[in-house]
Amino acid sequence: MNLSHYSSALLVAFTLSYSSSSISLLSSSLAAVVVGIFAFTPVASVVNADDPDVDVEDLAAAAAAQQCQESDGSTTCGAEKLDESSSTGQSQQQDQPNTKKNPDGQTIISHSELASHITIENRIWLSILGKVYDVTEGDAFYGFTNGSYKFYAGRDASPCFSTGNNTPEGADEKIEEWTENSKLIGVYEWAIFYENHEVYKFMGVLGDSRYYDANGIETSVRRDIVSRASAAKEVADAEREKRKKERMDAKMERRKKLYG
């Protein structure tokens, strides 16, 4: 063997030796990485590294599952979390107030929904003769903590507007059975007050109540109350104007006598 052949043989041997060492080092490094990944991966998420079918996508999926668990402390990620969000969204939608309308396009409000509106945070509502109003801006009067009229919040206490008997029993009185027109007028005038208020907002009608049925249709009881109360108010207003005129006439007569 000549020198050139000997040199070539040495070069080939050195190259093979260097390549084997590099491959060995690379294999060791890769093995360390894989072991490091699986050392911190739950048993349920481990991918068998000896499986000839394992590829990079399998390893990536395992790593993603581990990252998801470490990020939020749960074992549900991806589609499972999306399903959870969808379920939560459906639950929240079910908790939303009913937006059923009556033939006049007015929202039908349930007793339970009305009862939930007693704080500034959730808005303060009250009902009078079955019409519901948002009176949050008057929280000094209707506020749950110290409002002097807080009893009226979250309910229909129509009789109490006239009697002042601010109790559940007082709120349950049957106005239609009252015989004193003056008492009817008291409730009716308060109803007009809320209806014409510049700030308080009409929200809808109280369904399945004494004044509106389950479909938001005005009941005969309410129609009778309003008819009687409005007629009584007209009479009372006419009498008030008559007395006012009589007082003015008497005042003019006194002036004529004094000054000729």
Please give the pLDDT value at position 98: 60
- Measuring CA to CA, how many Å separate 194 from each of 32, 89, 127? 77, 36, 10
Please give the pLDDT value at position 164: 95
Query: For residues 220 and 165, what is the distance between their CA atoms, to the nearest angstrom?
Result: 25
Q: What angle do CA 184, 176, 242 make, to 5 degrees?
A: 25
Please give the pLDDT value at position 87: 42
Contacts by 140-146, CB closer than 8 A, 24 or more apart: 143/119, 144/118, 144/119
| Cβ contact 209:102 at 8 Å | no
- Count helices and strands (H / E) in the chain: 9, 4
Using DSSP's 3-state secondary structure scheme, residue 4 falls into helix
Query: For residues 67 and 73, what is the distance between their CA atoms, to the nearest angstrom?
Result: 10
Please give the pLDDT value at position 52: 46
With 0-12 / 13-18 / 19 or more C-beta atoms within 10 angstroms meaning exposed / middle / buried, residue 108 is buried
First to last CA, the chain: 161
Q: What is the pLDDT along the chain (260 residues), one digit of tens a residue?
A: 544 444 444 443 444 444 444 444 434 444 443 334 434 344 333 444 444 444 544 544 444 444 444 444 443 343 333 344 334 444 343 445 568 999 999 999 999 999 999 999 999 999 999 999 999 999 999 998 889 999 999 999 999 999 999 999 999 999 999 998 889 999 999 999 999 999 999 999 999 999 999 999 999 999 999 999 999 999 988 998 999 988 998 888 888 878 86
Please give the pLDDT value at position 96: 54
Please give the pLDDT value at position 35: 38
| Cβ contact 37:63 at 8 Å | yes
